Chain A
Amino acid sequence: MKKIREKKVREKKVREKKERVKKINLPKLDLNNKRNNIIVTSVIGVLALVVTIVTGVQFTKFRNFNAEFYTGNVDEIQSYSKYSKYLAGTSGDAPIYILYGDNNTVAVVRASDADKYDTIDKVLEADARVVKGGVVNIDKEELDISAIAKADAATAIDEVKNGTSDIAIVTYADYRAVRDTYTDLTVAKAEIEAVPSILVMGGTHPNEPSGQLAATMFLENAKVKRGVLYVVNEVNRSAYTHSQPQEATSWYYELQTASGQTRTFKYGSRATNTVDQWPTPDVYTHSSGQQLSSSEVRNINRSYPGDEKGTYTEKLSYAITQLVLQNDITMVVDLHEASPEYITINAIVAHDDALELASDAKMWTLDDVMNIGVEVSPATLHGLTHRDLGDYTYAYVFLAETSNASQGKLRGKFSPDLITYKEKDKFYEYAKEYDEKHGTKLLYAPAADIDERVARHTFTVSALIKSFNDMGCVSRTVNVGKIGEREGRYLGKLEIEMVPGYEDIMDNGVGYYLHDLD
């Protein structure tokens, strides 16, 4: 009885409300009236213009915003256009940061003589030199250590500067001490000492932030004792100038340095900006003949080895291939992320000739602190670093993946906290709990926060370096490749210090290892 009464009361209220609404007399808008039509159209037009301008200004700001990086440890900055000339002046012409080892032995010459001494033989024929540091290539007996042999490095360099001698063979640290004042001196092209080198790549996909941050851990912290460190942390810089369409992603995220300074980083797109490469064909045909969907035509990691005159994206990958080839870089690590529901995650994918190194790093270093798999690069999937950069250079090439919720399809609302995963996403957490409870594999790895992801990547690179040193410091012997065979050779150790370890980053956070910027 009571319920029926309540129902009637409710129905009455609804009726009354409807009547009230009816009573409001809306002014009749007759759009057939020309004047009304013009007013309405104009208002809509102005509103659209305002929205376009406001978002356009925001987007232009985003497009032009450059994340800044600390380069106090960097010895030399090159750019892509040095290796892929048609990129000059374009947004993708990214910087290549180079750090030379303190103990590398180099021949310092007058800048005008740099090309003259491009081989060791020519160096040996020169007038005077001082030997300092470990010389691997030159038999010391062969060296005509002249009167100044016992002089200190500074004196030797001074003598080159004032014309008393032509060459000073010193350590890179000795040269660095005078580099900025003696700008008319330079390092000769001849390789006085064979040293190993590594290229750390982040930002191949700007929606995979831990790759860029781990590369930045090396850029901003590394002290190279021996060897050469190359860092490219905006591999596809064009893809940093826009965002992923229809994903409603945040454009920026922030991290605090140890002193509390805020560092701002961009979250971009997986693909090259259409401003730089357009139109997009239905099918992307790679130089190998492989055909992929149009979504991959602006993906730099389907375009290796690249093409100087190809698509814009192929010009970018050509720059990387040439960088590795022309400098004979020993190892390359390309740092990526994938969504937690993707199968290849928390993994290293290695080119065939790099598989032994990757396995060694996993077994003897990485297994102690993390769960990580090693996969061989599929021979038939082309355009990826671990395939074609390996096939077209003499480097050991690796790609590593961490688990990034902001790339995934299960995620809820997007925010900078989703990027860093400092605020957990309820759907990914639900999936994780579901997997734990039911032994299923909705996720191949749970979503991880930025500290863990960067710690994994940074430590993976360090572990690969350690394995290179442990396994005899020998460059790659080419068994699988497209540019002919080559025997590995002894290069000595690659010694890079001050890079934070896994526990360091887990304990203190990534921000702690980012430098304050002036």
Chain B
Amino acid sequence: MKKVITIIVSVLMIMTLAVSFAACNKDTGNGGNNGGNTDVTPSALDKTVSEAELQNIVGDGKLYATTIGQADLAVVNNLIVKAGVAAADYTSNNMLTADQVEDGSTVFIVVGASGKGLGGAGTDAAAELVRANAFQAKADKINIVCVHVGGSNRRGDTSDPTIRVIAGCSKVILVVEEGNSDDLFTGIANDNSIPLYEYSKSAKMLDSFKYLLGK
């Protein structure tokens, strides 16, 4: 009798696994519309973004880069330029607000806060949350690419509230894995059916930037 139960349970487990794998593929394949509780697991490390609808996400729209948390914008600028966009062809502004962004534009938003950065820019976490909420309110008219590169140093009470807002309204999330060790980004991606990509270090995001920027 025991044997029979074991076999039945095993078969059920295998079937469940198979179903969830299939669901995964579907999710990362079309970036959403998953009808159940199946997980959007991050792709294996250092993979290039591959969702067709994200290729050249900027299209004919304008390109912006900003930071919510006043940290690591230089990293994203470096990647955008290295991906082949001339510095003059996009707007990088650490205090960019949602109403400065035209509809149809794409905004790369670096999330994760720096105390030094906030102080230096003369702002604070509360004001940054206001900026974040404004981007969220406009999220259906623009493409938000959420980037987190600062690891665990850019996580915590100052960072996480704005991370939740921006990551939750983005089209795709790119994160250096150390900043997602508690699966915060994975959870947000799951809840909102957003493709999530994890990288061992920020430099490994370059190919994804090229894909997103149509280069």
Contacts and interface: CB of A to CB of B under 8 A. Distances in A.
A380 B119 CA distance: 8
A359 B74 contact: yes
Contacts of B75: 359, 362-363, 374
Contacts of A349: 116
B74 A355 contact: yes
A358 B74 contact: yes
A363 B203 contact: yes
Given A360-B78, A367-B202, A373 B150 contact: yes
B193 interface: no
Looking at B79, B114, B120, the one whose CB has the most chain A CB atoms below 10 A away is B120
Interface string A465-491: 000000000000000000000000000
Given A356-B77, A359-B72, 9 more contacts: A359-B74, A362-B75, A363-B78, A363-B202, A368-B201, A374-B75, A375-B71, A375-B116, A378-B120
Contacts of B79: 363
Interface string A343-381: 110000100100110111011100110010111111111
Interface string B55-70: 0000000000000001
Contact of A379 (B78, B114, B122, B201): B122
Nearest to A380: B119
Interface string B190-215: 00000000000111000000000000
A516 B139 CA distance: 64
7 closest A-B pairs by CB: A359-B74, A367-B201, A378-B120, A379-B120, A375-B116, A363-B203, A378-B119
Given A344-B116, A379-B120, A380-B119, A373 B153 contact: yes
B115 interface: yes
B84 interface: no
Given A359-B74, A373-B150, A364 B120 contact: no
B29 interface: no
Looking at B77, B115, B201, the one whose CB has the most chain A CB atoms below 10 A away is B201
Interface of B: 70-72, 74-75, 77-79, 114-117, 119-122, 150-151, 153, 201-203
A349 B71 CA distance: 12
Nearest to A467: B78
Size range of the chain A interface in the assembly: 20 to 34
B201 A359 contact: no
A464 to B, nearest CB: 14
Contacts of A379: 119-122
B122 A376 contact: no
B117 A359 contact: no
15 contacts: A352-B120, A355-B74, A356-B78, A359-B74, A359-B75, A360-B78, A362-B75, A363-B202, A367-B202, A373-B150, A374-B72, A376-B116, A376-B117, A378-B116, A379-B121
B195 to A, nearest CB: 23
B70 to A, nearest CB: 8
Nearest to A379: B120
Contacts of A355: 74
Nearest to A359: B74
A397 B53 CA distance: 42
Interface string A410-446: 0000000000000000000000000000000000000
A376 B78 contact: no
Contacts of B70: 376
Interface in A366-408: 367-368, 371, 373-381
Contacts of A371: 151
B117 to A, nearest CB: 6
Nearest to A358: B74
A359 B115 contact: no
A343 B115 CA distance: 10
Contact of A364 (B71, B115, B151, B203): B203
Contacts of B201: 363, 367-368
A193 B49 CA distance: 46
A358 B72 CA distance: 11
A375 B114 contact: yes
Contacts of A359: 72, 74-75, 77-78
Nearest to A444: B153
B74 A375 contact: no
Contacts of B151: 371, 373
A472 B173 CA distance: 31
Contact of A356 (B74, B116, B153): B74
B77 to A, nearest CB: 7
Nearest to A357: B74
A341 B65 CA distance: 33
Contacts of B115: 343
B39 to A, nearest CB: 23
A364 to B, nearest CB: 6
B128 to A, nearest CB: 15
Looking at B71, B121, B151, B153, the one whose CB has the most chain A CB atoms below 10 A away is B153
A143 B79 CA distance: 43
A376 B203 contact: no
B68 to A, nearest CB: 15
Nearest to B201: A367
B140 to A, nearest CB: 32
A495 B195 CA distance: 44
A346 to B, nearest CB: 9
Contacts of A367: 201-203
Contacts of B72: 359, 374
Contacts of A356: 74, 77-78
A380 B121 CA distance: 9
Nearest to B152: A441
Contacts of A377: 116, 120
Nearest to B181: A439
